[in-house]
Chains A and B, each alone.
Chain A
């Protein structure tokens, strides 16, 4: 057996094993330092946004907190809007709304979409054909249309926008999950699991799901960015968050009229949206690269 590895027996190996684990973790983090940085950044932003109400200098809804339409200054870091409200405070509080909308709609889409995808991919037969046809039909409606239609019917509000976007994205997640499940289901280890007598639950949760999950995580980060863009778009149109909410899309709605006098009103909320979306897109990209590397047989 020339090719086999035999490690020397070391009775006092626990200490060295722990050190080894620490060492490889650090090496991994350094190699993936961009990913690590992004993760750290996201955590900081989430923490900031959740606590925003407590530490912002001004009440985001307080009008005439300062003179109207002033550019960034030392007292108002991002300037003030047409009602004299401090933009910086509004941005920070708005960040929580943005993240919340993205997170909730992704949760909705993911839970429904993965259920559909798993069921269709695993059980096959008429159920698979029916579900996937249904997804095809929904797909051709396009997300924007579904979201618009649902908001039109339910009425404009941030909550309804969240639900609408969540439901609109279901076909996308269902399709991705279905595709991933098919790939794994066709691999011999699934057949091997059946041949050793595993039941449906075991195969789905113990074998298929862990192998499908990485793909779904990557897709979710990109989906998160899309959800945030969609939500701010709807708010901009007036179909999402309603004034005086400090949601970033809504903030942009008013800025058109005041562009000449206060460009920061147009610039800053948009830049904020772009930054958050960019961070999540980069995160998804990094995760996807890590995943492609993994597919060559390595488990990170």
Chain B
């Protein structure tokens, strides 16, 4: 098992490192002069000031030099400063990150419960009306554009009915965005759980369990569910990543003060240090969760925990 975990950890570190490379050189993908673009709207900056900014950003040095500066700054916790407000990028990110995590984790839990239960029962009653009903609704669920759903919920429940605030920071304001995120994901998770469980119900060892005389709840709960948890956990890491991505748009719609909304503002304002910081953080969180899921997987699957 240590081999497996060390391998995973190594992969994770590799990913993070490549991210820093990509992020550092992202600026150079921009056609034209990035600094010019960044300050295009600011009429008062003189060419000398632009040169100074260029120097500060290290854009006048060689590529390797730039990377070294960037990495050393990074490791000291300096993610740079934003163009607009001249704030420290790291501070800004750390301020908003908890909100995004709050939203994503809540939505993940909701969608897991709904999708997991629905998927399990659909598999259990495969081919019958319940299964068909659930499958039809999930296909519609994965077809709904999440941002449209969010807009509709906002328009209807907040604007029209006034049940929820249009923007805000508390649990009440969390409900609509979390529901939007959860709705689409629940459909996906439901389908995955269903197909995994159907595969498992077909396995020889389930037949053996019945042949021993065990009751249906016991076979399903102990043998099927326990075996099913393992592959489902490995999917969860990926689902979390998708939800983080989905959260970006949802935050924008509901004016939820998370990282995603920050990112979109940054993109519009061409605030490259902020964009870089965002990409780095996002990627880091995804990789972290992925590694955690792998650890959980290794612990739960005796085929890995005991070689």
Contact = CB atoms under 8 A, between A and B. Distances in A.
Interface of A: 133, 136-137, 140-145, 148-155, 225, 229, 232-233, 236-239, 249, 252, 255-256, 259-260, 263, 266-267, 270, 273-274, 277-278, 281-282, 285
Contacts of A263: 155
A133 B11 contact: yes
A277 B143 contact: yes
A232 B143 CA distance: 13
The list of the 9 closest CB pairs from A to B, nearest first, reads A144-B245, A270-B148, A278-B143, A277-B143, A259-B155, A152-B267, A153-B29, A142-B241, A137-B15
Nearest to B191: A285
B26 interface: yes
Given A140-B15, A144-B248, A270 B151 contact: yes
A82 B254 CA distance: 22
Contact of A142 (B144, B154, B270, B286): B286
Contacts of B263: 148
Interface of B is mostly: helix
A137 B10 CA distance: 12
Given A150-B29, A225-B142, 12 more contacts: A137-B19, A149-B279, A152-B270, A153-B26, A232-B147, A239-B267, A252-B151, A255-B151, A259-B159, A278-B140, A281-B139, A282-B139
B145 A274 contact: yes
A144 B249 CA distance: 10
6 contacts: A140-B287, A142-B244, A149-B26, A259-B155, A260-B160, A285-B139
Given A149-B279, A237-B249, A260-B159, A140 B145 contact: no
A237 B264 contact: yes
Contacts of A152: 267, 270, 275
Interface in B275-290: 275, 279, 282-283, 286-287, 290
B33 to A, nearest CB: 13
A218 to B, nearest CB: 13
A229 B249 CA distance: 12
Contacts of B145: 229, 232-233, 249, 270, 273-274, 277
Nearest to B154: A256
Contacts of B147: 232-233, 236, 249, 252
B102 interface: no
A142 B29 contact: no
B8 to A, nearest CB: 11
A270 B140 CA distance: 13
A257 to B, nearest CB: 10
B146 interface: yes
Nearest to B34: A153
B127 interface: no
Contacts of A281: 139, 142-143
B143 A270 contact: no
A249 B147 CA distance: 9
B245 A143 contact: yes
A137 B244 CA distance: 17
Contacts of A267: 152
A266 B151 contact: yes
Nearest to A269: B148
Nearest to B11: A136
A256 B154 CA distance: 9
Given A142-B286, A274-B143, A256 B155 contact: yes
B6 interface: no
A281 B191 CA distance: 13
Contacts of A142: 241-242, 244-245, 282, 286
A148 B264 CA distance: 9
A241 B19 CA distance: 28
Contacts of B129: none
Most A CB contacts (10 A, CB to CB) among B140, B245, B248 go to: B245
A140 B241 contact: yes
Nearest to B240: A142
B246 interface: yes
